Amino acid sequence: MNREDKRNTLLLPAGPGGIAEAATILRAGGLVAFPTETVYGLGALASDPRAVAAIYRAKGRPSFNPLIAHVADVGQARREGRFDSRAEKLAAAFWPGPLTLVLPVAQGGSVCDLARAGLDSVGLRIPANGLARGLIAAAGGPVAAPSANLSGHVSPALPSHVLADLNGRIDAVLNGGACPVGVESTIVSLLGEAPVLLRPGGVSRAGIEHVLGESLAGAEEGIDAPVAPGQLASHYAPRAGVRLDALEVLEGEAGLDFGGRFAGAPGTILDLSPRGDLTEAAANLFSMLRLLDASGLQRIAVAPIPQEGLGEAINDRLRRAAAPRS
C-alpha cells in the first residue's frame, strides 16, 4: 500500500473483529490509531523501520524524537528493556497504567533504531486499556506509538480528534471512545544513578516517589539532551493564545475554568471540573481546549489549577499551550 496515497481512514469497531483487522494492518506495515487510558496513540509495529518512518511522516514529527514502545505484558517488556529493582517496583505498582519507563535497551530487543531515535535506551509502557493490549498481543510485537495528532497539536482523547488531524493520512482508527485519563503517561528515566522525571503525567510524582522510596530528579538536573520533546516550548498548542492563572475572563476571551471560579461570567466558558477534582480535570483538558479553540475567540483564559497530584501534569501541558509559538 502506498502510504502517501491514502484516501479514507477506516473507523474500526471495538471488539475482536476490530482488533483482528487492526492487527492485520499493523503486521502489513500500516498505521493504526488506537485508544489507551491516556490519549489515542498512532501505532506501527515497533520492529518495522518503514512503518515507524510512516508515523513520523503522518505526524510531521521531527525524526530524532524517540517513540514509546507499547507492550502487552511484563514478559514482553523484559525482552525489550533491562529491568533493575527500581523498574521492577514501578512496573508492579503502576502497570498496566499511565507510566512510561525509560530503560537501557535489552540485548536482542525488537524495537528498531528509528523508533528509539538511535538511542541505546527504550521507553516502555503497558497501557491500561483492554483494546490496546489485545491489539498489541494480536500484532505479535511491541507497538510504537506517539500521540495520534499532528506534531505540535493538542493530543487526541476521542476518535474524532484523531480524524480531525489525520484522516486520510493513516490506515485506521480503532474506536475505543473517550480516554479516561486524558493526559499522557508520566515518563521516568532509570538510566542513571538517580531516577529522573522526564515528563509529568497520569501517575503523580508523589505516587512514584512513594514506591521508589526516593525523590525524582527533574529532567534539567539529571539528564543531557535529548530529552522528551514534550519539553519543547510550544508542544501542546491550540490556535488561540492562552493566558494562565486568570482570575477573570476578559472581553474577547473564552474561559477554561476549574472549580467554578468563572461561574456566572458571560461568554464561552467550560469548567474542567466544577467540583475541583483534578482527575476529572485531566480527563477533560484536551477536549475542552479543542472546543474553546473552535469558538474562534482570540485567547483562552485559564483559571489557576493547584500544582498537586495530576495538577502537575495539567499545569505542564497548559504552560506549553501558553508558550510563544515557534
Q: Cβ contacts of residue 28 below 8 Å, gap of 6+?
A: 1
- If one asks whether residue 187 binds ligand TXA (CB under 6 A), the answer comes out as yes
- If one asks whether residue 230 binds ligand TXA (CB under 6 A), the answer comes out as yes
- The 13-52 contact track toward ligand TXA, x by CB under 6 A, reads -----------------------x-xx-x-----------
Least CB distance from residue 140 to ligand TXA, whole Å?
A: 19
| AA letter at 250 | L
| AA letter at 4 | E
- Binding residue (CB under 6 A) for ligand TXA from 19, 33, 67, 297: 67
Q: How far is CA 302 from CA 46, 54, 77, 299, 317, in A?
A: 38, 36, 39, 10, 12
- If one asks whether residue 9 binds ligand TXA (CB under 6 A), the answer comes out as no
Could you say which of Mg ion, ligand TXA, none residue 269 binds, taking C-beta under 5 to 8 angstroms by partner kind?
none
- Residues forming contacts to Mg ion in the complex (CB under 5 A) are 147
Which among 17-25, 114-122, 274-282, 289-297 is the span making contact with ligand TXA, rule CB under 6 A? 114-122
- If one asks whether residue 102 binds ligand TXA (CB under 6 A), the answer comes out as yes
The nearer residue to ligand TXA, 23 or 157, going by C-beta atoms, is 157
Which among 22-30, 145-153, 239-247, 261-269 is the span making contact with ligand TXA, rule CB under 6 A? 145-153
Least CB distance from residue 72 to ligand TXA, whole Å?
A: 13
Residue 261 gets which letter from DSSP? T
- If one asks whether residue 281 binds ligand TXA (CB under 6 A), the answer comes out as no
Q: Which of 289, 303, 119 is nearest to 198 (CA)?
A: 119
The nearer residue to Mg ion, 70 or 78, going by C-beta atoms, is 70
- Binding residue (CB under 6 A) for ligand TXA from 111, 135, 145, 254: 145
- Binding residue (CB under 6 A) for ligand TXA from 32, 91, 139, 198: 198
3-class SS at 121? strand
Q: Which of 195, 198, 193, 158 is nearest to 174 (CA)?
A: 158
Number of H helices, E strands in the chain: 10, 15
Q: Which of 101, 89, 264, 280 is nearest to 272 (CA)?
A: 280
**Rounded to whole angstroms, how far apart are CA atoms 42 and 265?**
39
Q: Cβ contacts of residue 173 below 8 Å, gap of 6+?
A: 9, 10, 11, 12, 32, 33, 34, 40, 148, 159, 162, 163
- If one asks whether residue 123 binds ligand TXA (CB under 6 A), the answer comes out as yes
- If one asks whether residue 173 binds ligand TXA (CB under 6 A), the answer comes out as no
Partners of residue 256 on adjacent β-strands: 270, 302
- Contacting residues toward ligand TXA, per CB under 6 A: 36, 38-39, 41, 65-68, 98, 100, 102, 116, 119, 121-123, 145-147, 184-185, 187, 198, 228-230
